[in-house]
Amino acid sequence: MEDICTINALRLMQSADEFRAKLSGEFSAVHGLSVNEYFLLMHLQKAPLNRLSRVELAKRMYVSASTVTRMAAPMEKLGLVRRESDSRDARLAYVVLSEAGTTRLGEAKMTFAKHARDTFGDRWSRTELENLSKLLNRLVAGTLPNLT
């Protein structure tokens, strides 16, 4: 194995899987959120009016539209998001971040940040962290709106 692109892709996926696995347990136990639900809230918070249509959420989260429909339903029951329709296009069903959702998201962000610091630890220099940040940004910047 010498293809540097392949190596990078493998390491990218493995490190992301590891991080997600470590995050997952505490997230559901402490915040009652799956990692994907966390990302859904993050996308909403970043969006104008704190809302996005289901298809737009699906694109940004790399999941199917039906998954967004099914994720939103229980989150709506919990009051983390609410549903809004568009006055001009009756097909659209926005998912809107609520007050409670904002609060919950804020708590979850603490946990996320803690795990992120644990992952990089104090063995990473500021320069290395910024270097990685810059390189990863080239990966996410190209396509869709991202969370950073």
140 Rama sector, left if φ>0, alpha if ψ -120 to 50, beta otherwise: alpha
How many residues in the shown chain lie near DNA by CB under 7 A? 27
CB of 4 to DNA, least distance (A): 27
Residue 55 binds DNA (CB under 7 A): yes
| Beta strand pairing call for 51-53 and 93-97 | antiparallel
Query: Does position 143 bind its own copies by CB under 8 A?
Result: yes
Interior CA angle at 40 toward 37 and 41, to 5°?
90
Question: Could you tell me the strand order of the sheet in which 93-97 lies?
Answer: 51-53, 93-97, 81-85
Instruction: Tell me: does residue 30 bind its own copies (CB under 8 A).
Output: no
Strands (E), 1-148: 51-53, 81-85, 93-97
Of 45, 67, 102, 111, which lies in the binding site for DNA, with binding defined by CB under 7 A? 67
96 touches, from its own copies, DNA, none (C-beta below 5 to 8 Å by class)? none
The closest alpha carbon to 53, from 83, 74, 78, belongs to: 83
Instruction: Return the residue of 28, 32, 62, 107 that touches its own copies, per CB under 8 A.
Output: 62
Residue 103's binding partner out of DNA, its own copies, none, with CB under 5 to 8 Å set by partner kind: none
What does the alpha-carbon distance between residue 74 and residue 78 come to, in Å, rounded to a whole number?
6
Rounded to the nearest whole angstrom, what is the least distance from the CB of residue 75 to its own copies in the complex?
19
Could you list the residues that contact its own copies (CB under 8 A)? Answer: 1, 3-21, 39, 42, 61-62, 109, 112-113, 115-117, 119-120, 123-124, 126, 128-133, 135-140, 143, 146-148
